[in-house]
Structure 1
Amino acid sequence: MVQSEDRLQLTLYKLRSLLDFTLLMGEESDVARLMQRFTALLKDDLGINRILFFARDEAGKWALVWNEGCVAPWVDAIDVERDLMEYDRTVVIRSQKRGVLPEIDVVIPLAQDELVSGFVLLGDTREDVIGVSPIIKHLTFARTLSMLTYVALQNYNLLRRALRERSLKQELELATQLQNMLLLRGDALPRMKGIEIATEYFPQYEVGGDFYDLLDLGHGYLGFCIADVSGKGISAAMVMTSFQANYRSLMSREASLCELVSLLNARLYGLLRGERFITLFVGRYDTATRRLEYVNAGHNPPYLYNRATGEAQWLDASTVGLGMVEEMPQLRKSEITLHDDSVLFCYTDGLVERRDKEGKEHYSTDVIETSVRRCASAAEVVSSARKTVEAERESGVAIPFDDVTMMVLHFTK
């Protein structure tokens, strides 16, 4: 009768413990505290003094989540795939078959959707205890508690992933807002006699590192640039913000373009420390003399087309991108006199670099040359190029894998 009463009390205790643990799962967000409670129930309350808990991490790799009472080097030598995957059900290990698990008596596999994603290893090495081992006595309870703990760990992983995704979403939203503030559109574009301007930006992702700017420098001078910051997200947006502030403070009618680019590189090199870089094409146009001076620092060469003569040329780079090296090699300014009805098409690499259905990368400038030669106005050129890219994307013939930015300047009388 006494034994029956003891068994009843122990059963009630186990049920209350499982209920309390289930409530803890819903309240506790600290994995260490959860595992401490798991250990306390098995070790302090039931006398199971060797506990190892293995589970797959978020990357799917096996990790030792908890170790209680196992200090021997053999713990570090355990290879889950090699040593434990043979156990697809709870197994009591015979002493003569322990091998790499010398202090372990029971292996409890933890499965979800028929896939084993965790193991709890229990051992009782106390020789002074007479009678049935507490592991055997409380095996069903230990198995249930282990599964509850495993579910809780999975829930924590899901929660952490959700929080990271939420943080990433907020970061992208902030980066998008920053980028939208930096990029000039519509009425914000300079209006100057003899120059028609059209721009377009459409991202492959929420936010990228593309940037362009146009400044009315007064007295018939137009300053403009197009740039591409390596990387994505808020860090790229912050680099763009710093670049724009520095660029606008240095750009003027009198500034030497080579000195401007050299100063930008010096400031950005200290900021980026080689972790990122910026390709840049910067130009300045004098409407009175029709002279265009420019520096291309590692950027895709803009396409210059003279409609009157049919002549075309690519304004190639003379040096590397900003932030790559402390001293920019072969930095030089180029100059050219533009004729009436000339078109300058500036762009980022997303417009000319594509992947086909098989994932192979291709480089083509056909969309630029075709749009410039067929269309009359700058706005029509940009619209035509965008329609071509969108059609290719929808058909899957050529899929852009980077953001697309276009800046077209049509020089008229």
Structure 2
Amino acid sequence: MEIGTVLLVVMIALVLLGMPVAFAIGIASLASIVVGHYNPIVLPQKLFAGIDSFPMLAIPFFVLAGNLMTGGGITDKILNFTRASVGWMRGSLGIMTVFGSAIFAAISGSGTATVTAIGGITIPAMKKDGYPPELAAAIAASASILGPLIPPSIILIVYGNAVQASIRDLFIGAAIPGVLLAGGFLVYTYVKARRMNLPVGEKLSPRALIHETRVSIWALLMPVVILGGIFGGVFTPTEAAAVSAVYAFVVGAFVYRNLTPKLIARIFYDSCITSCIMLFLVGCSKASSWVLAVARVPDAIAGSLLSMSDNSVVLLLLVNVFLLIVGMFMEANVAVVIFTPILLPIATACGLSTLQFGVVMCFNLCLGLLTPPVGLCALLGNNIAEARLELTLKACGSFFAIGVVLLLVTTFVPALTLWLPAVMK
């Protein structure tokens, strides 16, 4: 346990000092390796092994696709269609934010990208329409956590790579929980809007709705092409990521004609930076996972949890509580790499399959995007809305509660995640 203690102490200390998480994990892993008298060559070996995987290629492609969508006007078209479809309902801007985020999530796979792209447009509009700033921020932040849950999902790609599971099956398994969560958010937003008597939008004529659909059709076809290709077995999730990037480029540059050479260069630059950070983080996490395994930390934690109870229901509740706490303090992809080998044996012993546990873990860590101190989506939404953080977090509480209820259903009703993959075999 000595090197495991060194890893955790050094990593926490460096993060508290303000060092980027990836560097903190890498340095802490190196310190642990040296203290344990292992060859330091282990660090670059594990770092490379963490990213030397075909499925991991999907991450930079999905990041690029999300940026191309925003820059190419595809995001605007999705929002225009959503406004035309639900703009007549009370609280239509809030409903539009959730609905638009669900569509965007079916392409980008990232919560932070979703809150930036969708919330960056709808939060100012909601504030202008009379929404309290904290409610506008909470709706956009909560809707953005659909990004990592509704397939494709970067978190599930990292999990599938860690356990060598079928990423396609993980995507299919997450579809129903993701849609149910989106539905729960839509219902709550509508009920909240009626209680607060928020503005009603303009109802378009059928002809105007048809026009908006026709104008937005290329944007709306994008998630159909991507998810249809994955679920239909036409291409792998990694190939789907490349297809999504190419599709976004072609539509943005030649159909909507918003992508200029200068903007394209900037998008590629930003996408490279984001992808490098994420992949370096995964690589360093692989090294820290090796240190934890050598130190037998997973066995110690698993033993502690198993000593509390031998009841599978209680153990699964403990695992969920543990992951919810982890999600409050740790970036999701790091948490997946570090805690999957620790918690998966407990989950399988309680009757969960590798696929179901992957969806449950992803669901848990998505909720962590709303909770402090990390809570990236809540922080981003709050910054866009220029609201008071404590009020935004309070407003996120109801969305979080809906998520917890659906998380428990996903945990204890296996058919929710296993039925669709079995049907689509």
Compare the two structures and name the one with the higher helix fraction: 2
TM-score category (smaller protein): under 0.3
Higher strand share: 1
- TM-score, length-normalised on structure 1? 0.23
Between 1 and 2, higher relative CO (CA 8 Å, sep ≥ 6) is seen in 2
Q: Which has the larger radius of gyration?
A: 1
